[in-house]
Amino acid sequence: MSDIAYVNGAYLPLAEARVSILDRGFLFADGVYEVAAIIEGRLVDNDSHLSRLENSLRELRIANAPAIQTIADIETELVARNEVNEGLVYLQITRGAAGDRDFGFPRGTAPTIVAFAQKKNIIASPAAQTGVKILTVPDLRWARRDIKTIALLAQVLAKQAALDAGCQEAWMVDRHGLVTEGSSSTAFILTKADVIVTRPNSPAILPGCTRKAVQTLAAREKLTIEERCFSVTEAYEAKEAFLTSASNLVLPVVEIDGRPIGSGAPGDKTRLLRTLYLEWAMNPDATG
């Protein structure tokens, strides 16, 4: 974690950054967040993250948040003040701290805005070389997973179940046996017929920004992509599998529930998509 955080208009040393215990984010998980990657000191695909943030705020009716350009400026300032060349920016907006704990929206309470930056090796990540192992778990979340809320308890439990099983990520599964998404990532498979499959956007999943960019890059490469649901059984039989997220870009999946995927090593198409994503992230204008 880097040293300078942002809290409601002030840049402070992390140890001095504080919010009230009456903050509705703390009491009710009444807030939204975004995570964007930083590569070569620049935020990656941030317009996409900020437009999803606007959508999350609108869906939860959190009013009076700063303008999106102001939020972008705060993030850029944090990257600079913390001298982050490679890593992540986390930004959270809650409905604020009213003087009590009432469920209904408070009147005239300003939202709380908190952000920090974190250094992390995301390009030379060991997991990109080795691939990750997945554990499937039931999806215990609420019905509006398209909103990026800070209510992440089901994902926390899913991730810990995966870690306890010696895996690195959990894929959550709906009551029909269909994969929704990862605890903090989007799930993809490549079928034996070389079709990339990922679940269509709907209230069942978060519309991943990395997912969207990867779809565009794959289409440009003339790879076939199908947006449809896939089952855990179909995933076991896949030629390749991978996940996408701002914090991990594109990561190969080499095992699901103890079953090797394909050869059990990162797949060629997955490697290609990671390379294409990195090229685009480092030079978005050159590749369109």
Candidates 139, 181, 240, 255: give the one binding ligand PDD (CB under 6 A).
181
User: Taking the complex as a whole, how short is the minimal distance between the CB of residue 192 and ligand PDD, in angstroms?
Assistant: 25
Between the alpha carbon of residue 55 and those of residues 58, 100, 207, 236, the distances in Å are 5, 27, 11, 34
Q: Which stretch binds ligand PDD (CB under 6 A): 8-16, 156-164, 203-211, 225-233?
A: 203-211
User: Taking the complex as a whole, how short is the minimal distance between the CB of residue 77 and ligand PDD, in angstroms?
Assistant: 21
| CA contacts within 13 A on the Cβ side of 156 | 4
Candidates 209, 223, 235, 251: give the one binding ligand PDD (CB under 6 A).
209
| CA contacts within 13 A on the Cβ side of 61 | 4
Positions marked active-site: 148
Nearer to ligand PDD, 17 or 151 (CB): 151
Bridge-based pairing state of the strands 224-227 and 195-198 = parallel
User: Taking the complex as a whole, how short is the minimal distance between the CB of residue 124 and ligand PDD, in angstroms?
Assistant: 18
Q: Is 149 in the site for ligand PDD (CB under 6 A)?
A: no
Q: Is 206 in the site for ligand PDD (CB under 6 A)?
A: yes
For helices 209-220 and 268-282, angle between their N-to-C axes, nearest 10 degrees: 110
SS3 state at 139: coil
Q: Is 92 in the site for ligand PDD (CB under 6 A)?
A: no
Q: Is 274 in the site for ligand PDD (CB under 6 A)?
A: no
A 10 A CB-CB count for 50 gives 20
Residue 192 carries which side chain, given as an amino acid letter?
Answer: K
Candidates 78, 246, 251, 256: give the one binding ligand PDD (CB under 6 A).
246
- What residue number has its CB nearest to ligand PDD? 210
Q: Is 208 in the site for ligand PDD (CB under 6 A)?
A: yes
Candidates 112, 185, 198, 270: give the one binding ligand PDD (CB under 6 A).
185
Q: Is 281 in the site for ligand PDD (CB under 6 A)?
A: no
Distance CA 105, CA 24 (A): 10
Q: Which stretch binds ligand PDD (CB under 6 A): 57-65, 122-130, 182-190, 216-224?
A: 182-190
Binding mask 9-38 for ligand PDD (x = CB under 6 A): --------------------------x---
Q: Can you spell out the DSSP letters for 222-283?
A: T-EEEE---BHHHHHT-SEEEEEETTTEEEEEEEETTEEPTTSS--HHHHHHHHHHHHHHH-
User: Taking the complex as a whole, how short is the minimal distance between the CB of residue 216 and ligand PDD, in angstroms?
Assistant: 13
Distance CA 41, CA 287 (A): 19
Bridge-based pairing state of the strands 169-173 and 132-138 = parallel
Q: Is 94 in the site for ligand PDD (CB under 6 A)?
A: no
In degrees, rounded to 5, the angle at the alpha carbon of residue 235 between the alpha carbons of residues 229 and 241 is 100
Footprint of ligand PDD on this chain (CB under 6 A)? 35, 155, 181, 184-186, 206, 208-211, 244-247
